[in-house]
Structure 1
């Protein structure tokens, strides 16, 4: 058994007969800040003990993935943030690919509990708030078969790993700045204020933007379309503009402060960084930025809502791109800082996944 939920002996056992309820596995990251004893105990009220898993290490996650596939769960919820979710998805895909033990076995449908920091994927699928009984409500609805819709989501391939977004430049700097704000200012009275959306806003306003006001914001960069297919330049409404761009074509040449891509709209805390992601199946939203720090600060609310399209923002749909900067740039993958890179190839992964969405339509 890979989990020992905090179950009181007087609690009623949940029926586990396949005919009683759909089988739903729940995987929690024990290292996530919001996955505490209270959350585990609450979930143990509504999830049978054998379906509730608690992971403390990558080895735990690997073993849990194997057990999920052995039991052939049709649906799996994860709790602990975007990193927890993608770590588990990557492990399941590794075990079901052509060389894995479960080669050819279909992936389960995935649900996301809003128990992370940024909760970008949770925002994408309209997961319930952790306040009150929100996360319990989502799991209970799934176990009762009350799942009205699902979203098909493509994934990026980034240095051998799958992720919902990745980038070089100011977005990587922002994530590093957010970590600094949380660790240095998010203490005592300011802890709650600086560890959520307030922390992201504070990082942008008081660290990232001031840095670029006194330091160079732009570095010479070339973006070239890959061999996987044509790319499309996008207008402010997300529609293609001009002729398709052939494989090998230069999409952009010049100075940039950011080059990033995603297969879903959100970074975290409702930050709609990629408003045209998931609009065209099998393509990423590539976003390039060459705007001033002062302009970002002046238009921060519109940028946060995905409604700011100045001349210095360039949007594309593409299947594969290669990014080459003249100097090393801050690098992030799925919201995690990953050092620095001068060159990077991003592509759409061959696999896509189905995400439970309680408020969306089946697609």
Structure 2
């Protein structure tokens, strides 16, 4: 198991609890991408059949990318992956049914112990495709307001961590403060980037209301979308962090990712917040959804870009491709026979 030592819920007590539950030598604590790559070499050397990550989406992204690359380099089998809910956003935890650290009881942290015991007993699994951008494998990535909010969240979290609210700094409170005081207000005056999405893969199609298909397929080399975009994002799972159902059609086509481009105004976002959160908001004039498998997104001017909830900086052009599937622990899946 690989735990992110910087994650919100990874305390000394959590590490001690995991060390007691797991066999000696099977717990690794990583605090950087470089450490993840070194750990990946050890994991592939030892031939683990299942590798768990303890943290949020960024931890999962970092570990899976490092292990898959190392396994492919050696022509070794790619293991099954699992997730324990120890980070902040945890979009994958909503998809896979991970419990989280929960409360500390006589046997350690209840949620972790429950998930680990389920895993050892009969946890099922399924195949999951990811998106690949800049060589990184992740459940989602995106340009625009989501990446800007992540930058604002990091600033707010840093400020709160210096004062009496430091215990709640890494969490929903900081996201709410960042969104309402920084990110959304800035979009009233910020120039909206011009976005161009080019199909560099198989036929793409536009998705309409209730998942219906609109119009003719867009062939390789065709322009999928061109125009203003406050957000241009891609995913293979329905959720962003905290249960925000940003990609309601992401699981409809196992051979495609969902691309979402939106020019929704801050006022419209706030006014329709609940339906947007549930993935029920539909406005074909401001929000454009597509099924794609290989695209290039161009932004003018260069715009903030994030992969798996980690901001990568401003980018002008990014190619995003659908990966081959990996096997992943799914606590909602039927138990193993």
TM-score normalised by the chain length of structure 2: 0.91
CA distance 1:192–1:269, change in 2 (3 Å)? farther
**In the alignment, is residue 323 of structure 1 matched against residue 297 of structure 2?**
yes
Unpaired runs of 5+ residues, structure 1, are: 1-25
Alignment partner, residue 210 of structure 2: 237
Alignment partner, residue 154 of structure 2: 179
CA distance 1:328–1:137, change in 2 (3 Å)? same
**In the alignment, is residue 160 of structure 1 matched against residue 135 of structure 2?**
yes
Distance 1:192 1:138 in 2: 25
Distance 2:14 2:314 in 1: 36
Equivalent of residue 267 in structure 2, options 294, 306, 313:
294
Equivalent of residue 353 in structure 1, options 317, 326, 330:
326
Question: Which region of structure 1 is more displaced relative to structure 2, 46-55 or 267-276?
Answer: 46-55
Counterpart contact for 1:174–1:208, Cα < 8 Å: yes
Query: Per-residue displacement from partner, 1:179-229 (whole Å, max 9, x unpaired)?
Result: 12222245545445553223323322222111112333x222221211x20
CA distance 1:198–1:135, change in 2 (3 Å)? same
Equivalent of residue 187 in structure 2, options 212, 216, 219:
212
SS of 1:49 mapped into structure 2: coil
Distance 2:256 2:161 in 1: 38
Matches within 5 A, 1:49-60: 49-60=24-35
Q: For residue 265 of structure 1, report the CA deviation from its aligned partner.
A: 1.7
Alignment partner, residue 127 of structure 1: 98
Query: Per-residue displacement from partner, 1:301-344 (whole Å, max 9, x unpaired)?
Result: 22222221223010001011112222111111111111111222
Query: Per-residue displacement from partner, 1:210-252 (whole Å, max 9, x unpaired)?
Result: 1112333x222221211x2000101132232222221112111
Q: For residue 362 of structure 1, report the CA deviation from its aligned partner.
A: 7.9
- Count of equivalent residues: 329
Matches within 5 A, 1:1-363: 26-97=1-72, 100-101=73-74, 103=75, 105-132=76-103, 133-143=110-120, 145-147=121-123, 149-185=124-160, 188-216=163-191, 218-226=192-200, 228-310=201-283, 311-349=285-323, 351-361=324-334
Query: Per-residue displacement from partner, 1:267-304 (whole Å, max 9, x unpaired)?
Result: 21112211211321131110001111111111222222
TM-score normalised by the chain length of structure 1: 0.84
Question: Which region of structure 1 is more displaced relative to structure 2, 44-53 or 338-347?
Answer: 44-53
SS of 2:53 mapped into structure 1: strand
Superposed structure 1 runs of 4+ greater than 6 Å apart: none
CA distance 1:194–1:303, change in 2 (3 Å)? farther
Give the number of the structure whose alpha-carbon radius of gyration is greater.
1
Q: CA RMSD in A?
A: 2.0
Counterpart contact for 2:9–2:101, Cα < 8 Å: no
Unpaired runs of 5+ residues, structure 2, are: 104-109
